[in-house]
Structure 1
Amino acid sequence: MRYSFYLPTRGDTAAPDALATLVSKAEGWGFTSVMIADHIVFPTVIESKYPYTVTGAFPGQGDALEQLTLMSFIAGKTERLRLVSSVMILPYRNPVLTAKILATIDVLSGGRVTVGAGVGWLEEEFEAVGAPPFGRRGAVSDEWLRIFKKLWTEDPVEHAGEFYSFGPLHCQPQPVQRPHPPIWIGGHSKPALRRTARYGDGWHPVGATAAVPLEPDDLRAKLDELRRLTEAEGRDFDRLTISYKAPLYDKPGELPASGRKRFAGAPEQIAADIREFEALGVSEMVFDFRSPTLSESLDRMERFVRDIMPLA
């Protein structure tokens, strides 16, 4: 099992020195990847429903560092950590420029980029950044992925699509990773599974929340469906990376009065959960250690490395 963590993108722990300390410690402790989220602006009135809370309310505070800029910064502060956009909202950015930026980060990091990709949920943010229509975001995202792959593998390259077209051009240098950086598709809906089967090198769902429990039985059923869809596309399901994102309920106040959440409780209980998901085919677990202070975030990560990882 490989282990990864969410990077803060807002607040005191997203200051330059704090970010550099966090990724340096994580790299030394043996974490595989760092997950970098994506928001550009936050409208003051949000009516869109956030998919990962029961109420649909977004828990953010209205600020966030820009994803690709932050990936570049972290690339320069690390040597081994993989840099994962988790997830990039594909329609927010021009596809040619985005492909170029990702290729540049991949070149300068020595081939450490993974493109976690999603279609987004915040309609008001789509409008603010001038993205294509929210209602067509799935089709737009599919076309953007096709453009990325063309730009990263062909030379010269051209594209004529429904939402974007360009004539023959060179887009060099291409990424270090061949044929291109891995693409992980976020989300657990049927369209997300179809997108993974057609375009993805991995599936990157969120689970273990009240809004999206994604318990082992449900995960098994979705993986069975993903296998069917992938094979129908003529692709090898066994080559997909399954990367499961989950909170870590290691604070006493987070434990329920009765019953037990996944990834909660004593180290052996959390390790047993990890082993159960690994048996289903999950090869990378992504945990959320983000806390109000840098010291608390580091303490949680260190306890995980010391007390849980050896048992899993």
Structure 2
Amino acid sequence: MQLVHTLAELRHALRHTQRPAFVATMGNLHAGHLALLEQAKARGDVTVASIFVNRLQFLPHEDFDSYPRTLDDDRAKLEAAGCDVLFAPRERDLYPEPQTFKVQADPALADLLEGEFRPGFFTGVCTVVMKLFQAVFAGKAEGVAMFGKKDYQQWMVVQRMVRQFALPIDVVGIDTLRAADGLALSSRNGYLSAPERAQALQLAQALRRLADDALAAGGPLPENLPALEATAVQALAAHGWQADYLTVRRRADLLTPQAGDGAGSLVALGAARLGQTRLIDNLEL
């Protein structure tokens, strides 16, 4: 595996490739990231992973400074998994000057859910992803980028960005990888204490109950959903969680379902804080 840090080094490493398959990460890798890489290997002529903790997508009170940076361990995992090129830029490599040009995501999608509770988050995501795409895919006729569906809204935002900018990139969503007990794998799971880890599955369980309740009458009705969602939030709160949202939305646009929307077209999404750790999860219905 080749390790590169600068844009010039990356472009040189990819100069003879035709269809890169790319996995963008912030490092602190787990089996979910490696599953993305495994899926990527069959879709391109070279596999590229990036590790970059992107300051632009963190709010001032969030964990940018404390986010785990484990490059040596991550490098070993990627090499063992068969990655061809690891792009690990320093901040000065990716942002050599203040990033005053930014990509503003469509508010109709990006101001919902995560965007409501983390204002500016998707601007930071879209800006760094666009920059990474320019680095990896510049001069290529086509490429593929793998995204985990655990970050469901992020995957949708990136898909829409690529479509509207007519980028020759196939954005592929890969189902969430879970621990044996069903907890969605996440780099932030490492923040959990042992008792919190034992509780963490409650978020997925709450989403399952919400989904079952919403579908019990054949499909969710807009007038019934607020009460069902409030009940789900209260149930988590009784176990010490602070929920930002637990909700059922349409997969197509993350808007509230309408009468007639049913199984196969919906997704239950949640974000909640357990102690100091904010976790997200979702369940396609």
TM-score relative to the length of structure 1: 0.28
Could you tell me the TM-score, scaled by structure 2's length?
0.30
